[in-house]
Amino acid sequence: MFMLGVARADGVLASVCLLMLLAMPVLQWKGRRNLLGLSLHVQGSHRALTGQKLPMQINLSRCSGMSSSHDVSILIRAGAGSETNGSFPSIHPDAMACAQTFMEMKQRGEISSFLYRIHSSYPLGFWEHHLEGKLDHALIVAPRPVVSKKLVMSGWWREGMAARGASHTAQAGEIRGLRAWRPGDSFKRVHAAASARAHARGQGLMVAETDPPGFAPRHATVMFHSYAADRAIIRPEMFERALSYLSGTLCYLWQQSLPATLVADFDGWLEQSCCSRRELQELSDHFSRIQRRADTELHELQRVQSQLDPQTSLIVISDMPVIHWQSAMMRREIPTIILPVHSVASRRNSPSMKR
């Protein structure tokens, strides 16, 4: 446009284009200076679960003695496709700008730092300036607990259980119905949803009526293994799903106040106790670091079973199909409970198979 103005002897056009050319370096310098003196801090939890969103707060401040920053965007990555972003229209010096955001954790593991990228196209969008770096933030991503339906079935603990392996419990049984509240009933048994519906109809409180206390196992052993027969297909996603079932099973047993012991091949068949909240949290953190063991042998699986107490309840979880290792399970006085993992995946994929 400047050359066109000179060729046509148009002084106005040539002057305007010349001023724009002279202003370009100034605008570019202004854009670079827009990101100078910025300080980034991230506040968030140091523990998370896979598949869940981690709330985070991004704090961005600017050094004193400098002009305000405008139109700043931030991208934070935590690896394995987990990322979040935030935007700040204006950041004044000696002031902190905050942005609330969420980051979905897609893979378990331990993270020591976040990667961040601060970018801006201020002032006119002709150039995009950015700053990159690392932000120290320790984060443990554990498997999300999933409780199997077979584990919470009504009467599961009572069916086929030997008398020597069970003890009387004071906890109430399954909920069998609702009734009106009577004097002497504990307010802990009040059913909130049913009471709200009854109150709307002009009635009183409703309580849940349960079965009387019964018997529960004294101890449970949870076994995890990756043994399978030859030519079995190894699927990494099934190992992650099996870990979720393992974590959910231990959480369920702890909620039932039932002492449990974990025996797994990825720990060299070392027995680990799970009787308190602290031990449960330590196992959950441990699951974020483990790797699948690919050399589990049949004789190891049988040896570990023979060393278990015959009066304990045994729960078996594996990332391999049950048909490949079910014959390796030894007969016990208390029946062994097998929690299938592959059957859940096949049910979820059933609509596509029908099509």
Alpha helices in the chain (DSSP H): 2-7, 11-33, 192-200, 236-255, 277-287, 298-307, 342-348, 350-354
273-299 per-residue burial string, b: 16 or more CB within 10 A, e: under 16: ebeeeebbeebbebbbeeebbeebeee
The pTM of the full predicted model, rounded to 2 decimals, is 0.73
CA pair distance 302, 279, nearest whole angstrom: 27
Q: What residues are paired with 177 via a beta bridge?
A: 209
Query: CA dihedral in degrees (73, 77, 81, 83; nearest 10)?
Result: -50
User: Which of the four pLDDT bands, split at 50, 70 and 90, describes residue 34?
Assistant: confident
d(CA 240, CA 192): 36
Condensed to tens digits (0 to 9), the pLDDT of residues 51-90 reads 889 999 999 998 877 888 889 999 999 877 889 999 999 8
Domain ranges of the chain: 30-142, 163-169+216-354, 175-210
- State mean pLDDT over 138-167: 69
Identify the pLDDT of residue 10.
73
Distance of CA 66 to the CA centre of its chain: 41
Alpha-carbon distance of 241 to 324, in angstroms, equals: 18
| CA-atom Rg of the chain in angstroms | 31
How is domain 30-142 classified at the CATH fold level? Immunoglobulin-like (2.60.40)
Residues 329-338: tens digit of each pLDDT: 998 877 888 9
**CATH value of 163-169+216-354 in 3.40.50, 3.30.1330, 3.30.70, 2.60.120:** 3.40.50
Q: Is there a common fold for 30-142 and 163-169+216-354?
A: no
Examine the pLDDT at 297 and tell me if it is beyond 80.
yes
What angle in degrees, to the nearest 10, is found between the helix axes of 277-287 and 236-255?
180
CA atoms within 13 A on the CB side of 294: 7
Which residues, including other chains, have CB under 8 Å from residue 70's CB and lie 6 or more apart?
34, 89, 90, 91, 120, 122, 123
Element (H, E) at 191: none
Element housing 167 (H / E): strand 166-168
State yes or no: pLDDT of 171 exceeds 60: no
